[in-house]
Structure 1
């Protein structure tokens, strides 16, 4: 397998002028494949469009159209004063009862966590209903910023019954929440989950590295152990430009 490169000039690119497939699309497909296969490493700069056009014998508008199609897909970004740069591909995650930290680790995305809030406070009405406790009861509130490949990916807010496991900040930043729960002999059995979307507030956008009003995916999840007890209620926000839920649908 070819080694990853940060130099697009090292890639073997070419177009077939006898093909009915548009030239810009041929180039875009080759660049997308190089990114997807790891041959073109994240952080790579594509360089001057004129130079790339001359190398391939294409017009500059053709090259620009190919690159713009990859920018639209979120595989590349145009940075003022820097140029067009390859970014990490979108995280695709199956919609099942799993830990984001574990999923990112399994796909080699180098997960990291920064704890933004870690307190015990009275449960509001919605949290109390989700956890099956009395309104005003103490709950542990944890807010974390989850990174993948060094970039912010998700803002995670969770409420848990106090004393369910050791939720020290250092432990939360070292691993995933579900792993901590399992380490306390809690068997995660099922969850009730809803997925949606909305626009980022100014504060959320600043934390996630998105412009204000950017699209965010939302997920509300209440997780139960094998006794039917609610062990956590999560309200999560994901960057739509970097994150996708995968569904498997069965015909009945």
Structure 2
């Protein structure tokens, strides 16, 4: 049933609020970023039920004042939880908890995993696998302001001897240190899991564009051919970003199949 015009956009009267000032403690001397400290404690409150589904957070200005932090710090903390699907922003209502507890880690799969599941034997050509200085933009993509070094990986994924995708990834330095042989023989998510990283959730954007001459040369397509694009930010079970990827796929040989469910009403 659609809400009537008079009730649409009103805050839920019974949605509980939470006294974050008495619950959240931040340590400016900690090497952990301030936004991450706030996000980590909010996440813990959501998962143990102190912040139940429907609970509202104070607005960013009030939260910043009560915690004696800057508004951008609070905004980044909230956005990281929005990206993970734990919070949602609603016009006229504010920021609310979406779910109270994650019952099990979400199963994330890489292109390598998907191809193996289809009975294929994927191959990879490693074009780049190195640690380099992290720019401000890369630090923002990995939600890690001040990040000094990042591992950059570029591969071409092939199946049946034909290129299928050009894959680029940024990872915070130190999470995993794969050799080229490992990247040829295994998927990145397999390597992360083997290193003890507990993958939890991701934020993914799918789009399309036309192949450049460089794309066409790598993927054996004609310049101007249709390509699918994907950007993915992957989080572990602590809410830390462990990988940012931007990939292009040959639309003539690959498609995305999505299952959709009802979201919060």
Same fold (TM over 0.5): yes
User: Structure 1 stretches of 5 or more lacking a match?
Assistant: 1-95
Change (3 A) 1:251 1:187: closer
Is the contact made by 1:122 and 1:135 (CA closer than 8 Å) also made in structure 2?
no
Q: How does 1:224-239 map to 2 (within 5 A)?
A: 224-239=235-250
What is the SS of the residue equivalent to 1:244? coil
Change (3 A) 1:125 1:178: same
Q: How does 1:1-252 map to 2 (within 5 A)?
A: 97-134=108-145, 137-250=148-261
Is the contact made by 1:110 and 1:150 (CA closer than 8 Å) also made in structure 2?
no
Instruction: For 2:212 and 2:127, locate their aligned partners in 1 and report how far apart those are by CA, in whole Å.
Output: 17
Is the contact made by 1:158 and 1:232 (CA closer than 8 Å) also made in structure 2?
yes
Instruction: For 1:251 and 1:160, locate their aligned partners in 2 and report how far apart those are by CA, in whole Å.
Output: 32
What is the SS of the residue equivalent to 1:97? coil
Query: Scaled by the length of structure 1, what TM-score is found?
Result: 0.59
Deviates more, 1:125-134 or 1:238-247: 125-134
Deviates more, 1:233-242 or 1:160-169: 160-169
Change (3 A) 1:120 1:250: same
Aligned length: 157
Instruction: For 1:124 and 1:219, locate their aligned partners in 2 and report how far apart those are by CA, in whole Å.
Output: 21
Instruction: For 1:230 and 1:125, locate their aligned partners in 2 and report how far apart those are by CA, in whole Å.
Output: 15
Instruction: For 1:142 and 1:125, locate their aligned partners in 2 and report how far apart those are by CA, in whole Å.
Output: 18
1:195 CA drift (Å): 0.4
What is the SS of the residue equivalent to 2:207? strand
User: Structure 2 stretches of 5 or more lacking a match?
Assistant: 1-106
RMSD: 1.5
Query: Scaled by the length of structure 2, what TM-score is found?
Result: 0.57
Instruction: For 1:251 and 1:130, locate their aligned partners in 2 and report how far apart those are by CA, in whole Å.
Output: 28
Runs of 4+ in structure 1 over 3 Å off: none
